[in-house]
Amino acid sequence: MNNAEILKRYCSRLIAIERRSLLTKDCYSLEIKQFLEYSESQKITLEKADAAFLTSYLAMRRDVNGIDSRTASKAISALRSFFNFAVDERLVSENPAALLESPKRKSRLPEVMDRDTVEELLDKIKTSTPKGLRDRCLFELIYSAGLRVSEASLLNLKDIDIEGGVAKVRGKGNKERLVLFGREAAGLLKQYLSYDRPKLAGSINKSNALFINRSGKRLSRKGIWKNYARYALLAGTSSHIHTLRHSFATSLLAGGADLRTVQELLGHADLSTTQIYTHVDTAVLRENHRRYLPKLNLIRARD
């Protein structure tokens, strides 16, 4: 098999056998495509691709592409998965990626915004047009329900219960969960579905997607990112769209919600992933302490 055929069979395995999500399939496929191209440029066959060669590939990705530790970890996961496939297909005798160690990730607190800042950003969206109302509805829903961008993009009309304030979303690993959204999001959804979505959809559109573009097709993740970046620029903030999800989680904890509840609403498989938001809340407390008690901080600095 040539590299194109190998990659095609690998992608089929990810979906049909490993039951990976489309997002994971796309990420792994892109990584392995780059790896195979690099191997070809170095005249190294799969059989000769040992752990040392994989390490040189990852070094190239850091030096040329500037990947961080998080992306490097994902690249290693993709390589392990691919070489498991290669072993099963008898393309190689063993998995060299099993010897690779994932880099330690730097502990970073996620960026968050308070409700006033979120409102200021959302107010930059002009709702006088169908596209503007759609975006206001979309970003209000992402914030109100703590959605991932991919989850918002995959929402269908049947997934929304406006009266109950409940939506069914498909998260990582195609796992489904129920999320809640507030009155503001519900009101915007009613208007969007009654007046603005039909204008975007046109007379012959049959898409089941909740959020659609001007062509009547499902609004993609890239389209959502692009639109949010424009509104963030207008609002004078450098925040990324995932900040809305972080802000949702932090607001819940600050309001007294327990970790298990937040874990369930966010769709985290591991509680330790949710616990980072407790550190965010502590960071906010420290910043407020520094800002509103400057004299006390000055005294401590002298001591």
Burial class (CB within 10 angstroms; exposed 0-12, middle 13-18, buried 19+) of 138: buried
115 is catalytic: no
Closest C-alpha among 242, 224, 283, 254 to residue 143: 242
Strand partners, 177: 169
Residue with tokens 């960026």: 111
Cα 130 from Cα 143, distance rounded (Å): 20
Beta strands in 3-65 (DSSP E): none
- The catalytic residue among 148, 170, 197, 246 is 148
Closest C-alpha among 151, 121, 112, 109 to residue 250: 112
Report whether 139 contacts 243 (CB < 8 A). Answer: no
Closest C-alpha among 299, 301, 259, 302 to residue 279: 259
- The catalytic residue among 20, 61, 134, 268 is 268
- The catalytic residue among 25, 172, 217, 240 is 172
Strand partners, 161: 166
245 is catalytic: yes
9 is catalytic: no
240 is catalytic: no
279 is catalytic: no
* Tokens linked to 179: 């999320």
172 is catalytic: yes
Contacts of residue 129, defined as CB under 8 A and 6 or more positions apart, other chains included, come to none
Torsion sign across C-alpha atoms 211, 213, 219, 224: negative
DSSP track, 280-297: HHHHHHHHHHHHH-HHHH
- The catalytic residue among 13, 20, 134, 245 is 245
Q: Which long-range contacts (CB under 8 A, 24 or more apart) does 19-26 make?
A: 19/173, 19/174, 20/173, 21/172, 21/173, 21/174, 23/150, 23/172, 24/172
Q: Which residues are catalytic?
A: 148, 172, 242, 245, 268, 277
